[in-house]
Structures are given as C-alpha cells and as structure tokens.
Chains A and B, each alone.
Chain A
Amino acid sequence: MSPSAATPAHHTLSVLVENKAGVLTRIAGLFARRGFNIYSLAVAPTDDERFSRITIVVDVESKPLEQITKQLFKLINVVKINELDPDESVERELVLCSVRAGAGGTRGQVIELVQVFEGKIVDVGPDQLTVMMAGTPAKVDDFEELMRPYGIIELQRTGRVALPKLERQAPRLRSVSGKVG
C-alpha cells in the first residue's frame, strides 16, 4: 500500500474560517495540544474575502472525529465545519514530481505515463522531467507509485481539496455543526 493512501481512518473536514491573522496557527495548535493528527491540510481564500476554507484530512484513529470537530468549533474564528464523506464529495489533489528520465533511456516511458494520467510535463532537463498531475487522491497515489521506479528526485503533493457533490435528490452535505446559516 502506498504510504500516502488515505485509509478509512481518515476523514475530510471542510472548515470555513474567518480570514483573520493567526487562524491557521490556532487550528494547528489545537490539533497539536489535543493530540489529534492532521494528515493533510490545504488553505485558500473563498469567493467571499471575509472567509477562507481549510480542507483538513484528519486521522481519526488518534481521537474520535466528534471530539475533533467539537474542539475545532470552539475556536472563535471557525464559522462552519462540514464533514465530507468521500462517497458524497468531489476530492482532488495535485502533485508535482521531478523524475529521472534521460533522453536516450526512460524518457519516452515517463511521457507516456503522464499522458495516460492526463498529466503535463512542466519542466524539462537533460536527464530529468518535472511532471504535474491532478486527480483523485487515489489516482495521485497510483501515479506516484508508477513514477517511483524511474527515480523520483523530488515530489510535492498539495493535500486534497474537496467540495460536496452537487445535490441531485437528497442533500448530501452533512453539516457537523453550524454556527451560521
């Protein structure tokens, strides 16, 4: 199994926070002092400049998810928390990877794989390629595994971002607890 694969012990929380100085420190500090483990974390502003959205993948083997969300919610700057069920949300992650691919050697194979995964070559060196690929976290795992035999020089994943699937019949977004709205 890939070391980075999100196991069933992982849950994705989408946390809407006020865009205030130190919010990320508050969240990271809370996880540290309460003994919760962050598996991945992605932060970016939302379309409303007052708020940012933090997508946190948490390891719930350390503590039950309920304690994590309740403690998070006590932070004054946390406005809303949604737990995103993988079956009911769209999750994506992006990876950049510099891999050995000499012109006379494996370069062709690497390029082929990148194409299969609908990735892109973003930089080219004499013996290396830097490639980019985005997809579901599982697909990114697969891609990483397939790149490994060629010799990964450096690799950086973004951590996942996620949104609930669009509503068709029943609402799919489970609001863990909502202070607004």
Chain B
Amino acid sequence: MKLTGAQALIKSLEMEGVEVMFGLPGGAILPVYDPIIDSTIRHILVRHEQGAGHMAEGYAHVTGRPGVAIVTSGPAATNIVTPLCDAYMDSIPLVVITGQVPSAAIGSDAFQECDTTGITMSVTKHNWLVMDAQDIPRIVREAFHIATTGRPGPVLIDVPKDVSMQMMDWYWPNSVDLPGYKPTTVGHPRMIKEAARFISESRRPVIYAGGGILKARAAEALRTLAEMTGIPVVTTLMARGAFPDRHELCLGMPGMHGNYTAVTAMQKSDLLIALGSRFDDRVTGKVPSFAPEAKIIHVDIDPAELGKVRRPDVPIVGDCRQVIQELVKAIEAMGGADSQPDRTEWMAQLRQWQKEFPLHYEQSFDEGGALKPQYVIEQLRDATPDDCIVVSGVGQHQMWTSQHWKFDYPYTWVNSGGLGTMGFAVPAAIGAKAGMPDRMVWAVDGDGCFQMTAQELVTAAAERIPVKIAILNNAYLGMVRQWQEMFYEERYSEVYLSPDLPDYVKWAEAMGCVGLRVERPEEVLPAIEKANSIDDRPVVIDFRTDSSEKVYPMVAAGHSNDDIIVDPAHGEGGR
C-alpha cells in the first residue's frame, strides 16, 4: 500500500492506539493535518502550542498513556519547549510531532526554520529528524517505545514538509531494534534480600515514596509493603496519592513546604527506603545534613539516579512495582510482620510530632476577616468526590493544595514538580479531563499562573471539556512575595498583580465559561456547589484570598531540614 509520509504518520499514531492529540497547524505541518480529517484520532485545537504540550502532559498523568501533541515548525516548536522540559523533569511520557521546513531548505535560515532537534535535545529522552518517509512507521514505533518504557519521558519527531509529502510503502514493524536501549526492570535478587535484611534491622525506618511509584503503577504494591512491615510513608510532591493520605501510616509530604512530621521523620530516621524518588533538593534541603543517621535503600529504574545525590547502601535498579513485589516476598520469607522489630517508640514519636505540629491556619468569619486560601482548599476538598482530579499551578496555591488536600487515590494529583512551570494548571486540567471525561477535574490556580495560559479555556469551551478552575487570587506573585517578605526585608519588587485587573469573571465569560466571584468565607461552599452542578462548560471561580498568608512550614533554600520553620502564629515560632 502506497501512502504519503503524512498518511503514514497518522496511521502509525492510530496503530499506537492514540485516541486524542493536542495541536495547532501551520505551514510545515500542513500535509499532516490533511489526513487528520479522516482519522479516528480526536484532535483538540489549542490556542497556544505550550497549551498543547501541557494538555498532553495532563492526559498522560491521569491515564498513564503517552500524551501526543502536534505543532508546526519554528515558533510553534519553540513554544512547546517548556512542556517538553516540564515532562522531562517529571518523567511524563509525551510524543511531540513538529513540522520542519523542506529537507532541502534545512540549514538555510528558511522561513520558520529552527533547529528543533538541536533545541530539544537536552529536554527529550530522544528525538528524531525524519529524512525519509519510509522510516516513519519505524520511528513512531521507537518513539512510543522509548517514551513509555524505562524511565518515561518526552520524545520528539521532527518531520520536514517534503518528507510528509513523499510516497512510501506502508508497513508496521512488529518490534523495535534499539541496540543501545535496554532498560533494566528486574531488581537484583541479592540486593533485594539485602534490602529486606536492612528493613528487618531498622528501628526508625521511613518509606520515601516518589513519582516513580505512580509511573510504575506500584501504589498497590507499596501499600502491601507498608502494611506488612508497618513502616510509615512520606509521599513527595510528585507522589501525592501514591499512598492514601487517610492511611494511618501516611505522614504526608516532605520537603521545603512539607509538614513537620514528614520532614523530621526523614531527618531522624535510621533507614530511608527511597522508592522511585530522586533526592531532589526541594526534599533534602542542604544535602550534607540530610537524614544524617539514615542508611539508604534506593530503588529506581534509572541507574543514574542511584548515587547521584546520596550514595545508597543498597542500590537497586529496577521497576518499582517489580522490586517492591519481590521485596515483599523476601520479607515474607523472613517471617513477614513477625520479622519486624518493635517500633512502638518510633511510631509514638511520630504521633507526638503530628499532634504537636499539625498544619495550621485560622479562618475568621468576622466582618472584614480575610478569606484564607487554605480554607478554600479544604472546602473544595470536602465538596468534591474522593476521586476528583486536582491540578495545580506553581506557587503558594500549589503548596497549600498539596498540603491540605486528602489524596486517597493514585493519579488524582497533577502538577509541575521538577520544572515548576507557571501556567501548567489550566491546560493540564484540560488534558486530564480529555483523558478522563467521567471524572471531575478541578484546577487550583494562582492569579499569576492563570494569566499565563488562561486562553486555553477558549479551547475547553469550544471542545466542551468542562474543567473547573479555582483561582486563589491573592493579587500577588505570592510565592515570590513570601520570599521577599522573609529574606529581602519586605522589599517587594515587582510582585503586585492587582486583585481586579483583569476582571476574572468577565474574562471567564468572554472565553465561554461561567465566571463566579467569592469574597467571603460563607460564599465559598455555595460557589463550589454551583460550579459542581455545571457540566456543559468550564467554570472559573475568582476567590479573593488573603495576600499576606504564607506557606508554612518552610525550610529556607540551602538550609538544613533541621531548621524547619513552623508557622510563627502557631506556638513560639521556630521549632
């Protein structure tokens, strides 16, 4: 069968089971947009290519399937660099297709030419410049394989216009031939035994669960391990939901804005069982003083993570689910729960910290009492189904959401962790809803973040993707304001945004959404309930929240986790 390169590309995507892709056409990708008309794949037309990339990420986060975005050359390719980098940092499987100028024009500074593979080399797991249409099925097959296996990540295929128009003989490869790509998935049995022994000897262990648990679909296995051994679990920003927050062994989020117990439990532990986590600086604080007495078991599918920051005592390269299952077997062989030492003292210490240093805020219902962002989040949490998908932007609102939500199911929390990309929430929520249309999807966004990508609500309205957006409008680039307040003597430099410029309600309405405004605590719940009842278009609620509220606890950048600052309004300040 003879096909054009463009037809082969779309057919290859269909062969890979792609259901939806996010994109925007232009000159160099024109030939590829023609067969889209006849394809089974749903195309969602975005308003900015960055939106396409983040939508693909949101889709991938909640479905576990690779997100697909398709854009043209030059400015469109550069517009999608941010989502590629975001996906690279958070190990999100993406397949991005870019148009390129005709191959004969490459290198001539042709109209809308840019060196897409060069620019994206450092933010993709791999990329390809296709020079022959005959290679397209093979490359698409390789691209999906690489994006979704091992440590997942984004890949990019750059397709010159003439290659899209070139005729090729259709085929579909039934395997990939990549001599340099063989991820290790099975953990070393001796190391797993060793890990079981370390666990059975530890009095103060903590499971340090990272995003790799979700990537490996290992939440069930993790729960089995924790319950069998009785070991408490912290879930990093990327792993919220990987272990139920309401579980008695869950300590919540560690790190710069983690809760006191999670941070301090790691600091004082004698064994950290790092599962799919990477000792990120936002978790460790100052590395030399991080968990000084802890031995380390480190499980990761990416060998380069082992020893990158902290040398593990027991390094295990492998898929988290496989390794945890084997670890459970190894512990069972040693006697299961009976093999575990008495840890009542440790657990009592943790309970004590939890009691002494809970998350704290106060909502006043008096006339003139400012609306607290944490109150909004808790009301939203309690008024939505447990499996509601929550997406956030980057800033204070992100930290408050991660702290105050109760994540009891995996894949209910979508955020930009590694790159911290403002503007992530709106498009990622749209992508998540496109992937999980039957689930309720709320984005909790900052006023600053919202203004970066809000135009994608036009996409959502046009495509009938009814996401709901709660803007925690504190009139500031709040997180930056917080740092200026705490570390720059309250010298506020370029962080004021204004609460009513833009008018978020009018803006929402102009984009085909319902817009609501909330100023008082009593209005919070009715507004949320109204939003929940609307299912035919997106809803935006402008919550006017307290500008002066800060995120606590906090470990200042570069400081030791021992120097955690709890809310000064709570207790004597400091620890």
Contacts and interface: CB of A to CB of B under 8 A. Distances in A.
B406 interface: no
B84 to A, nearest CB: 14
B146 A76 contact: yes
A73 B308 CA distance: 14
Interface residues of B, number: 18
Interface string A64-96: 101100110111111100000000000000000
Interface string A140-181: 000000000000000000000000000000000000010110
B504 to A, nearest CB: 39
Contacts of B126: 76
Interface stretch (A19-27, A37-45, A99-107): A19-27
A71 B413 CA distance: 29
Find the residue from B121, B122, B182, B304 having the highest chain A CB count within 10 A.
B304
Contacts, number: 46
Contacts of B307: 64, 66-67
A76 B149 CA distance: 12
Contacts of B542: none
Interface in B114-142: 117-118, 121-122, 125-126, 129
Interface residues of A, number: 24
A106 B178 CA distance: 57
B180 A25 contact: no
B487 interface: no
Contacts of A66: 307
B303 A179 contact: no
A73 B129 CA distance: 21
B107 interface: no
Contacts of A64: 307
A17 B180 contact: yes
A67 B302 CA distance: 12
A70 B315 CA distance: 14
B25 to A, nearest CB: 27
A43 to B, nearest CB: 16
A75 B129 contact: no
A18 B180 contact: yes
Contact of B121 (A17, A26, A74, A180): A26
A71 B304 contact: yes
A29 interface: yes
Interface of B: 117-118, 121-122, 125-126, 129, 146, 178-182, 302-304, 307-308
Closest 6 pairs (CB-CB, A-B): A70-B304, A79-B180, A76-B126, A179-B182, A76-B181, A79-B179
13 contacts: A17-B180, A18-B180, A21-B129, A22-B121, A25-B118, A66-B307, A71-B304, A74-B302, A76-B126, A76-B181, A177-B303, A179-B179, A179-B182
